Structure formats: structure tokens, C-alpha cells
Amino acid sequence: MNLLDVPGSGPSSPVCSAKGCRADAVWVLAWNNPKLHTPERRKTWLACEEHREHLSEFLGVRGFLKDVVKLTEWRAPGEDRA
């Protein structure tokens, strides 16, 4: 199931990750699936105001959601700085 897809190198203005939504992203949802990722790893979804709750809940019920941060305040924690 490919419900959501965050392109690695998208356009400069990031859009909401919700399926079919083209609104500008305002929020970053940081999540981790312990079955797939090491604990420090963070995957991110982007959300507009409208979809923040929906996406948070989607991740939250699975126990994946770690953090919800304003896009303007988001700094990827383990980002490579090689």
C-alpha cells in the first residue's frame, strides 16, 4: 500500500503528504517504524493544517509517531553532514 509518498528531492515548496493533497506543508511529522528502522532513524511526512491531525493519528495508532514540528522549525536530527 502506497498511501503516502514523500519524494526525496521535490520542488522547493514542500506539499502535504496526504494522498491527493497539494496544499503547502506546514507541519513535519517525524516517525519511526521499529520493525524497519533503527531507533534513531526518523522518517518524515509533511502535512498541511488540514491533514496534520489525520496523519498524526495514522502514525499514532501504530505507535510510530515521534514528533510533530512546524516545518519552519524542523531540523532533521540525524541528517548527514558529511
Q: Which residues in this chain contact Zn ion in the complex, by CB under 5 A?
A: 16, 18, 21, 23, 48, 51
Instruction: Name which of 19 and 37 has its Cβ closer to Zn ion.
Output: 19
Smallest distance, Å, CB 46 to Zn ion? 8
Is the CB of 18 or the CB of 30 nearer to Zn ion? 18
CA angle 2, 76, 11 (to 5 degrees): 55
Per-residue DSSP letter, 23: S
Sign of CA dihedral 38, 14, 8, 20: positive
Give the nearer residue to Zn ion in terms of CB position, either 49 or 77: 49
